[in-house]
Structure 1
Amino acid sequence: MTRPSVNRSRIFPAITIGSAAACICLAASTPASANGRYPSAGQILVDPADPDHLWIRATYGVLTTSDGGERWSWICEPAIGYIGIEDPMMVLTGDGSILVGLFGGLSATHDRGCQWELGAGGVADRNIVDLSIDRAEPGSVILLGSSVLGSDEILTQVWESKDDGRTWAQAGVDLPSTFLGVTLDSAPSDPRRLYVSGRWNGPSFQGILKRSMDRGRTWEDFDVPGSDERNLPYIGAVDPVDPDVVYVRRDGDEADTLLVTRDGGATWEEVFQAASLVGLALSPDGSKIAVGSDYGGLWTAPTATLTFTPVRNLGVRCLTWTPRGLFACADEFVDGFTAGISTDEGQTFSPLMTLDRLCGPPPACGSDSETGEACPALWPATASFLGAAGSCDAGAGASGTATAGGGGAGESGTGAGAGGSGTGAAAGGGCACEASGKGRHGGLLGCMIVAAGVLCGARRRARKASSGRMALGVRAGPS
């Protein structure tokens, strides 16, 4: 599972003053223009009951397919209930429902994306920071809400649903008002075991892993070493067999660090570092782990040793591992696909989602639904902005897909479709965008960076990139 933190898109190398100046008018484009953000994906969900039913969270909305990726439908952010720069956590429940945690509450669809409804009762109007499925019972969901109150106190609670997100009840007690929660998960082998990560709200802002053995009635606290107000701990995964084994990603100014505890949080070991560690997934049996960096590529290791090996030079944005294979989000303009699947543990990927397969809002959604009402008018500008198919009625979509590049971790592996050689394209909102160096999308990114302020946080990313694609520190062998 990939946990959201900050948006860390790689800086595209071909941005010129000319292409940027030609596209400043993009700042006045409509909200449909992907919010001016670099087009990328940050989460992949696979329906365990229907492997052809997949969902992707992207920077320009949510994408879904019911035919294994031949054609993708686009659902705009306003239909779901958010507008602006927000990367909400999503879960896919046992009956195919999608739940989305927003700054202002919980949004859910139970009909594959047409009707969206906001959660009521205790989860209404809360900042939903994380969601997790109980793997032993797919219809059971837990969520973490953590909101700052007017008195500077924090209300952090765990809620659970047994009916695919339709009704909710609080799980256990409120967490301390001085604790800010950021992620949660349950142990697949022991659903009563819950973990929540976060930090104290002063004075040291120490990062904490909270552990409950009784579904939230009581909690124990364990310090996560090296974490503080700036370097928060995020739960990456809980081992499917051993409830005491937890993987946590800790933010860092120069590099992110992967830590593991094998005793439920009492002791910790640092096992991996990357300039920007945004992907982590365990194999279904828990015997292997994959980690990914949008700077440093894809690495894997046996969980018994946690000795990592570079597998592929891929700009990883997210990872998901199911019995079907290892799914990855990547940079389509560099790697040849937005989402792909590997059946050989990351050595090669087959494109699963490319922009020429994106066909617009779901045709099944009528105008009386949230998606049918909000999205069709926004789609033309979005399609133009992305260079997407626009419509698949005329045969666009399944044909002409990008080919994933080959090569191991030391090769470029960019593949066909990563950049191209075109000379220009129209950007969203009617602004002509002059491409430079990298074809249509090189100029597109120049527009977005200048017009929408994507340089927020660039100093940190540039500092990381200057030390190479990977700042690596891996363990030599088992302890």
Structure 2
Amino acid sequence: MLAPLALYTPPALAHLGYPDTTSVTIRRGHPEDMFLGATFGALISRDTGKTWNWICPEAMNYGGWRPETFLWQPDGTLLAATGASLIRSTDGGCTWTVHDYFKSQGLWPIGLASPASNPSRLWVTTSRSTSRNGVYRSDDGGQTFTPVMQSDTLVFTAVKVAPSDSRRIYVSGGTTTRLSLYRSDDEGSTWTEQPFKEFVGPPYPYDLFVLKVSDTDPDRLWVRVSWQGWTYVMESKDGGRTFTSVVHPEGEEHDGLGEYLIGIEVSADGNTLWAATHTRLFRVRAGESRATQLPLPDGNACAQREGDVLYVCGASRLHDWALATTTDEGQTYTALFNLPDTQPPACPAGTPTHDICRPYWPQFAPTIEADPYLPPEETPDAGTPPDGGSPGGDDAGTNIPDAGTTNPRPEEPQPPPKKGCSSASGLVPAACLLVLSTLRRTRRRNPEN
């Protein structure tokens, strides 16, 4: 039993080693196309969540740096800044490439944004210590980039564009002793530095990330920052000049979160905020002094709003869904996807996702209690995939190992240290997965499938 499992050990850099969903992305202008980041690669649906197909991490070319979020443009291009590279796919996740502009210069992209009003405009920030970092702009959908701000001493951790005014750009960054928010009111032509003064060191605050800008007010934004082991979600209503902590968990003395923050989401009017950690989802409404921990999800969380619908990650091992929707701010949920309903890769032969991931499926599927059966191969035709890209395009033949080899990993940068079961390799993670599976209660499959 252990030997077959050792052939494929899904990476899990957090989430206590469990297989979990980590982010939700809806393709702009195409609500039927959905993409889930996961600790074991990704999952894609092209039919509004009725069926989900697996994409293994080896095919996505991100090495040990799992993307926290993705961007899916109207033309079908999928992008993610991993912290080590900018990866993209133009054929629905079947072929992934690393952008050479950043790779060739040894730059580590970490922030990515694109205004919905102008999808061809991309913003990328880099954050490699001891390197020349910058903010980069693309006007051709990410084919080429131009630096608009650079520094030999700063790192730039994140970038966000105001939905109501695409000229307003916010970038977070700084040094080990000085954090700042950089603001542009003219699409990056000029920048104003606004020092972050909410916490006084030493010890100094760290990990300042701009998270969100209000849908309707370009002066209203939210950031996260860490200080003395706590993580704070902070709101500014004056364009980043001053901030106030807004997530004070109910029943806890400290005004902050004692666990890693996955991300936040905010209602269209800005009056409700959700904060997701690895295990819990909090909600705070305007006028409330305390954040309420919602009963669900439990054991895993993420949140993404599309219109009036909130998409929420959950833990299949605990409450029978890995993705659900809510229209009442988290009071009730409608299950959309459960991990055991995952299907094998659906990409055509000759693409990395097919050639790399498909042979792994029989070993991987049992780790999420999915059906390990591989349906017979369909005869490939000469057509093109739905988004116009060629199945073998974007250097589809680069770094494709066969099922019995290990996908090459980039030498730099080194990925974050693994924890729990994922810190070992070979038979040990496989044994961990067996132990973890015994801890899960019996789960129902989605009756819709």
What range describes the TM-score normalised by the shorter chain of this pair?
A: 0.7 to 0.9
For 1:212 and 1:432, the matched residues in 2 are separated by 48
Corresponding residue for residue 186 of structure 2: 214
- Matched residues in 1 for 2:165 and 2:135: separation? 17
Structure 1 residue 38 corresponds to structure 2 residue 18: yes
Judge conservation of contact 1:249–1:258 (CA < 8 Å) in 2.
Answer: yes
Identity of aligned residues (%): 23
SS at match of 2:343: coil
Can you list the C-alpha shifts for 1:149-178, whole angstroms capped at 9, x where unaligned?
xxx3x322222333433x12225231x221
Query: CA-to-partner distance for each residue in 1:24-83, whole Å, 9 max, x for gaps?
Result: x79992344345832112211012312121101101001110112121111111211123
Secondary structure of the structure 2 residue equivalent to 1:50: coil
- Provide the rounded CA distance (Å) in 1 between the counterparts of 2:5 and 2:100: 36
1:336 matches 2:320:
yes
- Quick one: which of 111, 135, 138 aligns to 2:119? 138
| Paired AA for residue 158 in structure 1 | V
- Distance in 1, matches of 2:10 and 2:179, equals 37
Change (3 A) 1:434 1:262: closer
Structure 1 residues 391 and 171, CA, compared in 2 at 3 Å: closer, same or farther? farther
Contact in 1 for aligned 2:199/2:205 (Cα 8 Å):
no
Matches within 5 A, 1:123-272: 124=104, 125-148=106-129, 152=130, 154-165=131-142, 167-174=143-150, 176-201=151-176, 205-224=177-196, 225-226=198-199, 231-272=206-247
Query: Do the aligned residues in 2 keep the contact of 1:157 with 1:173 (CA within 8 Å)?
Result: yes
Mark the runs of 5 or more structure 1 residues left unpaired by the alignment.
1-22, 395-425, 443-479
Q: Per the alignment, do residues 102 and 87 of structure 1 end up closer, same or farther by CA in structure 2, a change over 3 Å counting?
A: closer
Deviations 1:231-264 (A, max 9, x none): 3212120112211111011224553211111111
Cα shift at 1:122: 4.9
Residues 423-457 of structure 1, C-alpha deviations (whole Å, 9 max, x = no match): xxx99858993569734799xxxxxxxxxxxxxxx
Residue among 352, 361, 369 paired with 1:387: 369
Q: Secondary structure, in 3 states, of the residue corresponding to 2:312?
A: strand
CA contact under 8 A between 1:279 and 1:317: conserved in structure 2?
A: no
Q: Is 1:355–1:387's contact at 8 Å kept on the other side of the alignment?
A: yes
**Distance change in 2, residues 1:274/1:427 (3 Å):** same
Aligned partner of 1:169: which letter? F
The residue number in structure 1 matching 2:383 is: none
Partner of 2:392: none
* TM-score, scaled to structure 2: 0.74
**C-alpha distance in 2, partners of 1:71/1:77?**
19
1:357 corresponds, among 330, 334, 341, to: 341
The equivalent of 1:102 in structure 2 is: 82
Q: Would the aligned equivalents of 1:108 and 1:119 in 2 still touch at CA under 8 Å? A: yes
CA gap of 1:26–1:296, structure 2 versus 1, over 3 A, is farther
- Offset of residue 88 of structure 1: 4.4
Query: What secondary structure is seen at the aligned counterpart in 1 of 2:367?
Result: helix
Quick check: 2:102–2:109 contact (8 Å CA) kept in 1?
no
The CA distance in 2 between the partners of 1:380 and 1:342, in whole Å, is: 33
Q: Gapped runs of 5+ residues in structure 2?
A: 248-255, 377-426, 444-449
In the alignment, structure 1 residue 367 sits paired with structure 2 residue 349: yes
Q: Which amino acid is 1:155 matched to? A: R
Aligned twin of 1:411:
none
Instruction: Tell me by how many angstroms 1:230 deviates.
Output: 6.1
> Residue 41 of structure 2 aligns to which amino acid in structure 1?
G
How far, CA to CA, are the matches of 1:306 and 1:177 in structure 2? 42
Shift of 1:393: 5.8
Q: Given that residues 188 and 240 in structure 1 are in contact (C-alpha distance below 8 angstroms), is that contact kept between their aligned partners in structure 2?
A: yes
| CA gap 1:242/1:103 in 2 versus in 1, 3 angstroms | closer
Q: 1:109 to 1:437 in 2, by over 3 A?
A: closer
Aligned equivalents of 1:86, 1:61: Cα separation in 2 = 8
- Judge conservation of contact 1:311–1:346 (CA < 8 Å) in 2: no
CA displacement 1:394-424 (0-9 Å, x = unmatched): 9xxxxxxxxxxxxxxxxxxxxxxxxxxxxxx
Conservation of the 8 A alpha-carbon contact between 1:359 and 1:389 = yes
Instruction: Indicate the residue corresponding to 1:399 in structure 2.
Output: none
Q: Deviations over 1:342-387 (max 9, x none)?
A: 122211111222112200112xx22211212211122222112222
Superposition deviation, residue 307 in structure 1: 4.9
Corresponding residue number in structure 2 for 1:5:
none
**Contact 2:265–2:305, Cα closer than 8 Å, also in 1:** yes
Structure 2 vs 1, CA of residues 229 and 216 (structure 1 numbering), >3 Å: closer, same or farther?
A: farther
Deviates further, 311-320 or 66-75: 311-320
Deviation at 1:310, TM superposition (A): 2.4
Cα distance 1:27–1:34, how it changes in 2: closer, same or farther (>3 A)?
A: farther
Structure 1 residues 159 and 344, CA gap change in structure 2 (3 angstroms): same
**Is the CA contact 2:318–2:440 (under 8 Å) kept in the aligned structure 1?**
no
> 2-side partners of 1:57 and 1:431: how far apart?
22
Question: Which sits farther off after the overlay, 344-353 or 137-146?
Answer: 137-146
Match of 2:439 in 1: 438
Q: How does 1:451-462 map to 2 (within 5 A)?
A: none
The 8 Å contact of residues 144 and 183 in structure 1, kept in 2 or not, is answered as yes
TM superposition shift of 1:93: 1.2
Distance 1:30 1:206, change over 3 A: farther
Structure 2 counterpart of 1:268, which letter?
Answer: F
CA distance in 2, matches of 1:331, 1:360: 20
TM-aligned CA distance change 1:311 to 1:200, over 3 Å = closer
After superposing the two structures, state which structure 1 stretch, 207-216 or 59-68, moved more: 207-216
CA distance in 1, matches of 2:26, 2:123: 18
RMSD across aligned C-alpha pairs, in angstroms?
A: 3.2
Q: Does the C-alpha gap of structure 1 residues 240 and 306 become closer, same or farther in structure 2, counting only changes over 3 Å? A: farther
Distance 1:55 1:296, change over 3 A: closer
1:454 alignment partner in structure 2: none
Secondary structure of 2:354's partner? helix
Indicate which of 283, 286, 290 corresponds to 1:299: 283
**Secondary structure of 2:283's match?**
strand
Residue 81 (str. 1) matches residue 53 (str. 2): no
Aligned counterparts of 2:84 and 2:152: Cα–Cα separation in 1? 19
Letter in 2 for 1:383: A
SS in 1 for 2:58: helix
3-state SS, counterpart of residue 334 of structure 1: helix
